[in-house]
Amino acid sequence: MKSINEMPTNLKKSDLDHDLLKDYVAALKNPDFKALVAHIQCPEEIAMKYTSQLERTARELKNCSKCPSLMECANDIEGCVYYPTKEDDRLRFNYVACKYKQRQIRDEKYKSLVFEEPFAIKNARMADIDLTDKKRAKFIKAVNNFYKNYANDHHIKGLFVHGSFGSGKTYILAALLNELAKNGVKTVIIYYPEMLRILKESFQDDFDDKMRLLKMTDILLIDDIGAESVTPWSRDEILGTILQYRMDAALPTFFTSNLNISELETHLATTKNGVDIVKARRIIERIKQLTEDMELISENRRK
């Protein structure tokens, strides 16, 4: 690229529009404009044809450098920079999302992929948990400890909570995840049989996105595992894949079930194709690596 410290010398004035040349040379006095032209590595004979547009880009990049949030964006299009790319002997300008806009787009996509939750679960709060039942004291203490410790350790184990129907397993864990979500933690709560149905009916691109979400979300709650009809596909390709990724990445994962861990192993081993203890045990070992086992026997609150 030619030097931009001075007016181009290899071009005759008679060959250039005088106003374009004058505007370009004046713009070069702005260090932001000068740095932009150098960065995009565009020859001056091309760049000077886009002086006003490049000035806009330089101005918007400067706005971005000191912008604290999307709400305070000073650019013409909120969350975007009017940015050039070189194509042969011309520049093409497009709106490129800033870091705040990119985060908003990711969050919106995340929300669109999250599996729908029942109203009570979506609105569960730790402040609303009934503390009077002493049978749930150990479980609630474990949940509180997780909440307190997660900020300092994003790789602590979750819980495998099993026990009686209607004892509050799902509600209490959903309250925990909802509270953490308020702090920006990405959480997903899924009713396991419904999740399998949705994945089975998904198109390929949507399926891949949903699987990526289940594998990579900060905290995952798999509700009512053991209530599904087991198939090799659901056990090995879906559950096994999700749990392997989360185990390798040490991502907190929670489970609720009406079956204890031994009963769940028997359940996972049995499909219409027969009994496969080895593959069921692989799933159980992953669950054990991800969680602490906890039993909850209490009155049925669904009454």
Tokens in use for 230? 């087991």
**In sequence order, which residues have a C-beta less than 8 Å from that of residue 264 and are 6 or more positions away?**
162, 225, 226, 257, 284, 287
Do 59 and 168 fall into the same domain? no
Do 235 and 179 fall into the same domain? yes
What CATH number should be reported for the domain holding residue 125?
3.40.50.300
pLDDT digits (tens, 9 = 90+) for 104-143: 776 665 555 555 556 667 788 888 888 888 888 899 999 9
User: Domain ends where: 48, 71, 101?
Assistant: 101
User: Domain ends where: 52, 68, 101?
Assistant: 101
Quote the CA–CA distance of 32 and 20 in Å, as a whole number.
19
Question: How many domains does one find in the chain?
Answer: 2
DSSP per-residue letters across 170-199: HHHHHHHHHHHHTTT--EEEEEHHHHHHHH
Do 129 and 278 fall into the same domain? yes
89 CB neighbour count, 10 Å cutoff:
9
Domain that holds residue 43: 13-101
Quote the CA–CA distance of 109 and 106 in Å, as a whole number.
5
Identity of the residue numbered 58? A
pLDDT digits (tens, 9 = 90+) for 39-95: 998 888 888 899 999 999 999 999 999 999 888 999 999 999 999 998 888 999 999
What local confidence, expressed as pLDDT, does residue 160 receive?
97
Q: Is there a domain that residue 2 lies in?
A: no
Q: Is there a domain that residue 232 lies in?
A: yes
pLDDT digits (tens, 9 = 90+) for 187-222: 999 899 988 988 888 877 688 888 999 999 999 999
Do 92 and 132 fall into the same domain? no
Quote the CA–CA distance of 257 and 192 in Å, as a whole number.
10
Quote the CA–CA distance of 29 and 16 in Å, as a whole number.
20
Q: Is there a domain that residue 6 lies in?
A: no
Q: Is there a domain that residue 106 lies in?
A: no
Do 137 and 38 fall into the same domain? no
Q: Is there a domain that residue 168 lies in?
A: yes
Tokens in use for 34? 């000068």
What local confidence, expressed as pLDDT, does residue 119 receive?
60
Q: Is there a domain that residue 47 lies in?
A: yes
Do 94 and 159 fall into the same domain? no
More confident residue, 235 or 201: 235
Q: Is there a domain that residue 108 lies in?
A: no
What local confidence, expressed as pLDDT, does residue 10 receive?
46
Sheet-wide strand order for 187-191: 187-191, 219-223, 253-257, 158-163, 291-296
Q: Is 17 exposed, middle or buried (0-12, 13-18, 19+ CB in 10 A)?
A: exposed
111 CB neighbour count, 10 Å cutoff:
8
Identity of the residue numbered 71? M
Helices (H), 17-155: 18-27, 31-40, 44-47, 51-65, 99-113, 119-122, 137-150
Do 162 and 82 fall into the same domain? no
Do 130 and 257 fall into the same domain? yes
DSSP per-residue letters across 216-229: HSSEEEEETTTSSP
- Average pLDDT of the residues of the chain: 86
Do 44 and 171 fall into the same domain? no
Do 96 and 119 fall into the same domain? no
Do 234 and 292 fall into the same domain? yes
Q: Is there a domain that residue 4 lies in?
A: no
CA angle 51, 52, 54 (to 5 degrees): 65
250, 252, 249, 255: which is closest to 268 by C-alpha?
255
Do 129 and 227 fall into the same domain? yes
Tokens in use for 156? 């602590």
User: Domain ends where: 67, 101, 135?
Assistant: 101
